[in-house]
Amino acid sequence: MRSTIRGFASGLGILALVASASAFAQGLPRQIAWTAYDVGSTGYGQAIAIGAALKNERGVTLRVLPGKNDISRLAPLAAGKVDFSAFGIGGYQASEGVFVFGRKDWGPQRLRLLAMSNGDFCNSMIVAKDVGVETYADLKDKRVAYVVAAPALNHNVYAFLRFGGLEWDDVRQVTFGGYAASMTGIVEGQVDAANTNTTAGVAMQVMSSPRGGMYPPTPHDDKEGWARMKEVAPYFFPSMCSEGAGIEEPFEAANYPYPILVAYEEKDTDVVYEMTKAMFELHPVYEDSAPGANGWALEKQVLDWVLPYHEGAIRYLEEAGVWSGDLQAHNDALIERQDLLQKAWEAYIEEAPDDEAAFDQGWQKARLAALEEAGQSPVFTTW
């Protein structure tokens, strides 16, 4: 499975991004490479700010390869062409082997966390102000963006629709080739709502456009709405959103870490340790250099989230005095879930049908059966 992805990514023309493992600067290679979200996104802006800090303080060059969707961000990482990825919630979906990562070229991925950003911004739907929406329930019959090969964005949209008691069938789906295009679509009147981060540059374009924009709230006392949302998106948690385009007063929102810095399980432990250490030691240098970058602070890390931490990152967290036995047990349980999914995948592909649709449906059933037999929530049942 991984060999297929390596072959795919080798054609991406990014061999120049491979880090030199022989030349180190304070423990890090002198050149490292990340993938990140599109130019103009919050994740890309933060990666550039971190790169400047690495260059100025450690003499390390960080090359950032923007990717317009989850596949283009993860394929170079899977192929070993980049060291890390400043990813989104698609990392969780890759770990779970769902959506585009449930297809025969992928399957469950053994991803590991290094660090995450939990700033004062939030993940939200941004809605054109001229359509009269105030709540997520009001999105019924409105035009909502769907981004090709971006299951993270699309599932976020679904989670917000669920908060409002809606399904995809309740809205008019408009397809775009990338995240930035979906936001431009609001400005140009092609669509009414899209998923975004409130600090993204393209969110400001929407807010300053003739149509204007707004973020529907997710009231924290709406227990039924939250139950519907967390049933399909357990990675969300209540937050107060105070940073971002057009925000004058904090509002009750839903959020999850973005970006998250991830590597594969087999990434060299020492390199992961040094990258994690640099992320936190250099934080005072870059925290004010990009919107939301303050969220990388050590005290803002969620250490019992939905993805396991890498062994190299745990080494640093132990040294920092913030790791515990309970956190290790939680991490071990997450790794056991990955092992379970990997075992189910390997058993399935041995006799899986060649037909793409039949393959996808068969994996959905096999995955669901394996998780239910183990007494674990499937979270995703069909896609």
Beta bridge partners of 29: 24
Q: Say what the pLDDT of residue 6 is.
A: 37
Same domain flag for 7 and 108:
yes
Q: Say what the pLDDT of residue 265 is.
A: 98
Q: Which of 75, 28, 36 is nearest to 260 (CA)?
A: 36
Higher pLDDT, 261 or 199: 261
Higher pLDDT, 131 or 234: 131
Average pLDDT over residues 158-185: 97
Same domain flag for 158 and 276:
no
Residue 40 confidence class, pLDDT cut points 50, 70, 90: confident
Same domain flag for 137 and 79:
no
Question: Does residue 283 belong to any structural domain of this protein?
Answer: yes
Same domain flag for 128 and 100:
no
Q: What is the CATH number of the domain that holds 280?
A: 3.40.190.10
Query: Is the pLDDT score of 14 beyond 50?
Result: no
Contact 198, 241 (CB under 8 A): yes
Q: What percent of the chain has pLDDT over 90?
A: 85
Question: Does residue 67 belong to any structural domain of this protein?
Answer: yes
Average pLDDT over residues 225-252: 94
- Sign, Cα dihedral of 46, 52, 57, 61: positive
Domain span including residue 134: 123-255
Q: How far apart are CA 19 and CA 40, in angstroms?
A: 25
Q: Say what the pLDDT of residue 131 is.
A: 98
Task: Count the domains in the chain.
Answer: 2
Question: Does residue 353 belong to any structural domain of this protein?
Answer: no
Beta bridge partners of 32: 62
Among the candidates 228, 255, 282, a domain finishes at: 255
Question: Does residue 264 belong to any structural domain of this protein?
Answer: yes
Question: Does residue 6 belong to any structural domain of this protein?
Answer: yes
Q: Say what the pLDDT of residue 236 is.
A: 93
Question: Does residue 361 belong to any structural domain of this protein?
Answer: no
Dig out the tokens for 158 from the structure. Answer: 């679904």
Among the candidates 320, 336, 352, a domain finishes at: 336
Residues 15-36: pLDDT tens digits? 333 333 334 445 899 999 999 9
Residues 107-133: pLDDT tens digits? 999 999 999 999 898 999 999 999 999
Same domain flag for 145 and 169:
yes
Sheet holding 143-147, edge to edge: 172-176, 143-147, 193-197, 123-128, 213-214
Same domain flag for 103 and 130:
no
Query: Is the pLDDT score of 201 beyond 90?
Result: no
Contact 163, 218 (CB under 8 A): yes
Question: Does residue 66 belong to any structural domain of this protein?
Answer: yes
Residue written as token pair 């990997």: 342
SS (H, E, C) 118-187: CCCCCEEEEEEHHHCCCCHHHHCCCEEEEECCCHHHHHHHHHHHHHCCCCHHHCEEEEECCHHHHHHHHH
Average pLDDT over residues 194-203: 92
Q: Say what the pLDDT of residue 126 is.
A: 98
Q: Say what the pLDDT of residue 26 is.
A: 57
Q: Say what the pLDDT of residue 7 is.
A: 39
Question: Does residue 381 belong to any structural domain of this protein?
Answer: no
Q: Which of 1-5, 95-99, 162-166 is predicted with the least confidence, judged by mean pLDDT?
A: 1-5
Query: Is the pLDDT score of 3 beyond 50?
Result: no
Q: Say what the pLDDT of residue 11 is.
A: 43
Same domain flag for 142 and 243:
yes
Same domain flag for 113 and 223:
no
Query: Is the pLDDT score of 310 beyond 60?
Result: yes
Same domain flag for 33 and 54:
yes
Same domain flag for 109 and 147:
no
Q: Say what the pLDDT of residue 42 is.
A: 85
Same domain flag for 77 and 139:
no
Q: Say what the pLDDT of residue 326 is.
A: 98
Q: Say what the pLDDT of residue 115 is.
A: 98
- Sign, Cα dihedral of 295, 124, 242, 254: negative
* Pairing mode, strands 61-66 and 31-36: parallel
Average pLDDT over residues 281-306: 95
Same domain flag for 137 and 243:
yes
